[in-house]
């Protein structure tokens, strides 16, 4: 991997791959955690709006057709911490993907007419999350997990805040956060003269430093926390039970990843095996881990019959306690799972670009290349220590059940 910084402060990461495809991804250092109370949802709103038209490409169809007419794909996503725009095309069309992506992020029109129409689309996205218990359980979970940190707010914001957004608000938001020094770009593929090409479309402008976010420190959690909703339309009970852990750059973060290889891998992980295979309590059983720059959490989620809720939660907590008796064989298998899963995932050039940007946003993309070495150094004693330290603490529970 090569890394450069343009004169205007934009970081450029390049991973050479002799592949038929090439991926371009730009990370903007703003997510919902950076929003003011009156702006809830504006970062996600902006993600939608840059696709609505630029000075060079008048509307969304023209923008997306530039990528799709060559067989490529493009999309974007917003999280609590970042907003990312990505395109993946056959390698010979790299210049097209780069130009379209840069155009969207330099010269979006941000018209009032598009703003008003896009609100209705955003409301339907909010409804989709709210209506689907599998998604909404995580909104409840993070509300219970965080008392002061802005990650207690959903990325999509609130209907009230989104309704009030005007084009001028978006333009101010764009000027405040969408500048090269607050962005980084990753390219994965075979691209000669990649730095020169990136500098041509993203260079220029005054050097401005990236924003360094500092969020409120969460108080120590002294007791279990619980968020619950009841719905007439829901037949199953949906549960997410977890614990706060550590940020990505903490040494224990890789141990949590190995633990997930024990508890949460596919259909052979402890959680799935105990709750579905042996007890027959659930169809869906899975785990979720977050590793951000200033927090982390680890949780198990499942859908069950209401009458089996207590038994299922007990089984989750039992598996966490059982980590104190984990074997060398369990740890070894978890390591090969983490390694194999990552390597297969990163055959995709877009996923590789995303991974590099994630690690650079955490602190340094070079840490990614040390990751598997750190995974392989995790010992049985590490697993037992980390499980004892984090999973013996009070937990967080989100539940959605039928009335």
Give percent above pLDDT 90 in the chain.
97
Kindly state the average pLDDT of the residues 243-256. 98
Whole-number pLDDT of residue 152: 97
pTM, 2 dp: 0.96
Determine whether domain 225-402 maps to CATH 3.20.20.80: no
With 0-12 CB in 10 A as exposed, 13-18 as middle and 19+ as buried, what is 120? exposed
| Sheet of strand 296-304: strand arrangement | 225-231, 396-402, 237-244, 296-304, 282-291
Q: Are 115 and 53 in contact (CB under 8 A)?
A: no
Length of the chain: 403
Tell me how far CA of residue 85 lies from CA of 44, 137, 173, 209, in angstroms.
Answer: 12, 26, 17, 21
pLDDT greater at residue 204 or residue 223: 223
What DSSP line would sit under 237-272, residue for residue?
Answer: EEEEEEEE---TTSTTHHHHHHHHHHHSSTTTSHHH
Whole-number pLDDT of residue 204: 87
Neighbour tally for 252: CB within 10 Å:
18
Confidence of residue 402 (pLDDT cuts 50, 70, 90): confident
Q: Where in the chain is the domain with CATH 3.30.830.10?
A: 2-202, 225-402
Nearest alpha-carbon partner for 244 in 340, 148, 332, 327: 148
With 0-12 CB in 10 A as exposed, 13-18 as middle and 19+ as buried, what is 343? exposed
pLDDT in tens, 252-306: 999 999 999 999 999 999 999 999 999 999 999 999 999 999 999 999 999 999 9
Instruction: Give the helix, strand, coil percentages of the chain, each rounded to 5.
Output: 50, 20, 30
Whole-number pLDDT of residue 377: 98
Half-sphere exposure of 268 (CA within 13 A, CB side): 6
As a whole number of Å, the CA-based R_g of the chain is: 22
Kindly state the average pLDDT of the residues 366-384. 98
Q: Are 203 and 359 in contact (CB under 8 A)?
A: no
Three-class SS of residue 351?
helix
pLDDT in tens, 21-57: 999 999 999 999 999 988 999 999 999 999 999 999 9
Which residue blocks in 146-250 are alpha helix, DSSP H?
Answer: 159-164, 167-177, 194-202
Distance CA 139, CA 229 (A): 11
Residue 127 host element (H or E): helix 112-131
Whole-number pLDDT of residue 376: 98
Give percent above pLDDT 70 in the chain.
100
Residue 132 pLDDT > 90, yes or no?
Answer: yes
Write down the mean pLDDT value for the chain: 96
Determine whether domain 2-202 maps to CATH 3.30.365.10: no
Confidence of residue 403 (pLDDT cuts 50, 70, 90): low
pLDDT in tens, 330-363: 999 999 999 999 999 999 999 999 999 999 999 9
Confidence of residue 232 (pLDDT cuts 50, 70, 90): confident
């Amino acid at each position: 991997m090569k890394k450069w910084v343009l004169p205007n402060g934009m970081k450029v990461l390049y991973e050479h791959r002799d592949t038929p495809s090439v991926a371009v991804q730009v990370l903007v250092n703003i997510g919902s955690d950076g929003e003011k109370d009156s702006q809830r949802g504006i970062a996600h709103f902006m993600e939608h709006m840059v696709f609505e038209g630029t000075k060079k490409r008048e509307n969304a169809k023209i923008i997306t057709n530039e990528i799709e007419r060559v067989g490529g794909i493009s999309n974007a996503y917003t999280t609590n911490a970042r907003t990312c725009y990505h395109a993946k095309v056959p390698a010979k069309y790299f210049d097209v993907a780069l130009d379209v992506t840069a155009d969207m992020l330099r010269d979006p029109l941000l018209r009032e007419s598009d703003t008003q129409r896009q609100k209705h689309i955003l409301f339907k996205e909010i409804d989709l999350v709210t209506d689907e218990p599998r998604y909404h359980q995580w909104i409840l979970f993070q509300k219970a997990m965080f008392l002061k940190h802005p990650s207690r707010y959903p990325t999509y914001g609130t209907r009230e805040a989104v309704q009030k957004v005007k084009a001028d608000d978006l333009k101010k938001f764009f000027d405040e956060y969408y500048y090269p020094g607050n962005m980084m770009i990753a390219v994965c593929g075979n691209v000669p003269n990649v730095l020169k090409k990136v500098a041509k479309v993203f260079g220029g402008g005054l050097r401005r430093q990236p924003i360094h976010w500092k969020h409120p420190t969460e108080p120590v959690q002294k007791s279990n926390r619980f968020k619950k909703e009841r719905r007439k339309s829901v037949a199953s009970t949906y549960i997410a039970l977890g614990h706060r852990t550590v940020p990505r750059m903490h040494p224990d973060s890789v141990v949590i990843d190995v633990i997930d290889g024990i508890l949460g891998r596919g259909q052979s992980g402890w959680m799935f095996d105990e709750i579905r295979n042996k007890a027959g309590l659930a169809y869906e059983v899975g785990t979720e881990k977050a590793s951000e720059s200033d927090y982390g959490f680890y949780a198990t989620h499942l859908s069950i019959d209401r009458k089996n809720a207590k038994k299922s939660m007990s089984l989750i907590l039992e598996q966490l306690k059982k980590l104190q008796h984990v074997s060398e064989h369990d740890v070894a298998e978890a390591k090969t799972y983490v390694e194999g899963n990552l390597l297969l995932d990163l055959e995709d050039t877009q996923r590789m670009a995303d991974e590099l940007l994630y690690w650079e946003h955490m602190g340094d993309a070079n840490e990614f290349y040390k990751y598997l070495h750190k995974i392989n150094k995790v010992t049985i004693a590490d697993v037992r220590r980390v499980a004892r330290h984090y999973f013996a603490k009070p937990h967080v529970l989100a539940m959605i059940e039928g009335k």
